[in-house]
Amino acid sequence: MPLAILTSHPIQYFAPLFREIARRVETTVFFAHKATPVQQAAAGFGKAFDWDIDLTTGYSCEFLRNVAREPGSHHFVGCDTPEIGQKLSGRFDALLVTGWNLKSYWQGVWAAKSRGIPVMVRGDSHLDTPRGLAKRLVKGVTYPAVLRLFDAALCVGQRNNAYYQHYRYPAERLFHSPHCVDTERFAAGATSEARAALRARLGIGPDEKAVLFTGKLVPFKQPLDVVAAAALVRSQGLLLHVIVAGSGPLEQELRSGASAMNVPLHVLGFQNQTHMPAAYAAADVLALSSSSRETWGLVCNEALACGRPIVVSDSCGCAPDLTGDCTAGRAFPVGDVAALSRALTEVLCSPPRPDAIAAKSAAYSVCAAADGVQKALAYLLAEQDSPRFERVS
């Protein structure tokens, strides 16, 4: 059952999943946009760069011609690829789109529908994302019909599943395909040697603890909360450093805040993919303090893959999945610095068992995500005689 995947641009989190899907099913990935290093910086990374791991190998892929006046994946009309219909004709038995927030995705959906090709979707929308009353009302009326245009939906987690249930999407067309990272690569790089080397470079003693914040230094991620919580932890006598792997507009404010609160702060700046395992290895816990704009928080998956526990705000999309049972970390009320400090202290003083962290990481692996895609494809194959899928020659 040849599968086409339509996605915005090469993304470091998607490439391992695409490779695993291609290992199981004949797959071609179509990219709607190719981001330049400058565009990567504008997206909030604060630095122009290319990923240092090839994101387009291990599977068949093709860049579509993007005719948008202002190309980019940050706005609806920034990906405009009318040739997708021609690319789909006569070649594929199913299409997977990785969202519906771009014009290109809808071009793919309509092209597939007109050709009798079933369409799957995989995204991470959830109900807690900030939106005004008018938008909620419009979605309440239109989304039950809009979402049914997708013949199967792949749920990345509990809140994403609740989103589909809220809009009355048919339960038999929902399949679990969890958010994932390349767990093997992260685990292989998070060695004791990498930990010792980075901690020595940063001047973190063997008996001192370190909390890692990784991500863009932007307001909705609330990195200052981590520094303020670390100050409270230190006031209780626990020697705690803050490591930051990331860059962005809040960097100077973060440095000033840490200095004022007398918190040892180590800003690594933007870290490309090959350097991230060492950052996780050097830390004792990851803290993700974001608001509900954080639709998941894949840095948590990365930390777990490296054997590190996590402390996550309850507004992050991943919170119920990765910390709901408290086996791999803790959740805290978003914006509550005192609760964050208590959660950090608890995890640092009574860390989760390594086998529990490994089990949680395995449940959100690339293989688990690909299993969900395969199950959805099997469902579509069984349903292919339905009038909905009448093929156009």
pLDDT tens digit sequence for 351-382: 999 999 999 999 999 999 999 999 999 999 88
Burial of 222 (0-12, 13-18, 19+ CB in 10 A): buried
Predicted pLDDT of residue 393: 43
Predicted pLDDT of residue 130: 78
Q: Residue 287: pLDDT above 50?
A: yes
- CB of 305 within 8 A of CB of 181? yes
Q: How confident is the model at residue 215 (pLDDT cuts 50, 70, 90)?
A: very high
Closest listed residue to residue 156, CA positions, set 23, 297, 43, 59 = 297
Predicted pLDDT of residue 63: 97
Collapsed DSSP state (helix, strand, coil) of residue 289: coil
Q: How confident is the model at residue 350 (pLDDT cuts 50, 70, 90)?
A: very high
Q: How far is residue 178 from each of residues 23, 120, 236, 275, 363, measured CA to CA in Å? A: 18, 15, 38, 25, 8
Question: pTM, whole model, 2 decimals?
Answer: 0.92
Q: How confident is the model at residue 41 (pLDDT cuts 50, 70, 90)?
A: low
Q: How confident is the model at residue 87 (pLDDT cuts 50, 70, 90)?
A: very high
> Which of the pair, 389 or 125, is modelled with greater confidence?
125
Please work out, in degrees rounded to the nearest 5, the angle formed at the alpha carbon of residue 342 by the alpha carbons of 337 and 344: 95
Predicted pLDDT of residue 38: 66
Mean pLDDT of the chain: 93
Share of the chain above pLDDT 90, in %: 85
Predicted pLDDT of residue 90: 84
Tokens of 356: 């529990």
- Which domains does the chain possess? 3-180+366-389 (3.40.50.2000), 183-363 (3.40.50.2000)
- CB of 389 within 8 A of CB of 116? yes
Q: Residue 388: pLDDT above 70?
A: no
- CB of 178 within 8 A of CB of 210? no
Read off the pLDDT of each residue in 6-19 and give the average, rounded to a whole number: 95
pLDDT tens digit sequence for 159-189: 999 999 999 999 999 999 999 999 999 999 9
Q: Residue 105: pLDDT above 90?
A: yes
Q: How confident is the model at residue 1 (pLDDT cuts 50, 70, 90)?
A: confident
Predicted pLDDT of residue 35: 77
DSSP3 helix / strand / coil % (the chain, rounded to 5) = 45, 15, 40
Read off the pLDDT of each residue in 251-263 and give the average, rounded to a whole number: 97
